[in-house]
């Protein structure tokens, strides 16, 4: 154990790619897939998981999952992930219909970066997402056409 925690062994032998951590994190998700473990529990769960599976570099540096989708699965379960994905997909569809390249670019950046980082677990990421998402939704009215089509369909039925 002492050799595993030394600085030299961390640099030479303890290379832990994200895919290994992700496989171990999926074992956590399998134990509570529907509702997750709750907000704020991820760090403690991952620390214990890393220690139990001898991922000492990850344990010592208290690394998160480095995947927003997995993080949401651990914290909020499949329902939380469905809501997050629905928001992203509906927004992407709306941006395409409105031909809003800037909003679409923002959403694609969020989607792509979420595969390799927990952007919504840091204050700067939360602020970036909330500020710009709200700005695009409120100023561009990206969902206006979706609701307009629903109103037109409802009016033709009545």
Position 158 scores a pLDDT of 60
**Neighbour-count burial of 132, counting CB atoms closer than 10 A to its CB (0-12 exposed, 13-18 middle, 19+ buried):** middle
Q: Is-contact 103 90, C-beta < 8 A?
A: no
Average pLDDT over residues 89-114: 93
Residue 26: half-sphere exposure toward Cβ, Cα within 13 Å: 6
Output the pTM of the full model: 0.77
Alpha-carbon distance 103 to 134, whole Å?
Answer: 11
Residue 20: half-sphere exposure toward Cβ, Cα within 13 Å: 13
% of the chain residues with pLDDT over 90:
52
Position 57 scores a pLDDT of 85
Ranges of H-type helices in 6-143: 7-12, 18-31, 42-52, 56-60, 68-98, 101-113, 123-140
pLDDT exceeds 80 at position 149: no
Closest CA to 20 of 59, 44, 60, 50: 50
């Amino acid at each position: 154990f002492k050799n595993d925690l030394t600085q030299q062994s961390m640099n030479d032998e303890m290379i832990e790619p994200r895919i290994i951590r992700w496989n171990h994190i999926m074992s956590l998700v399998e134990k509570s897939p529907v509702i997750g473990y709750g907000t704020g529990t991820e760090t403690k769960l991952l620390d214990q998981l890393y220690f139990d599976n001898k991922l000492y570099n990850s344990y010592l540096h208290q690394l998160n999952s480095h995947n927003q989708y997995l993080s949401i699965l651990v914290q909020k379960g499949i329902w939380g992930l469905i809501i997050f994905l629905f928001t992203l997909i509906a927004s992407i569809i709306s941006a395409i219909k409105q031909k809003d390249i800037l909003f679409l670019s923002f959403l694609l950046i969020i989607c792509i970066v979420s595969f390799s980082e927990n952007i919504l677990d840091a204050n700067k990421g939360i602020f970036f997402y909330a500020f710009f998402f709200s700005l695009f939704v409120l100023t561009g009215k990206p969902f206006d056409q979706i609701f307009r089509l629903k109103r037109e369909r409802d009016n033709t039925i009545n």
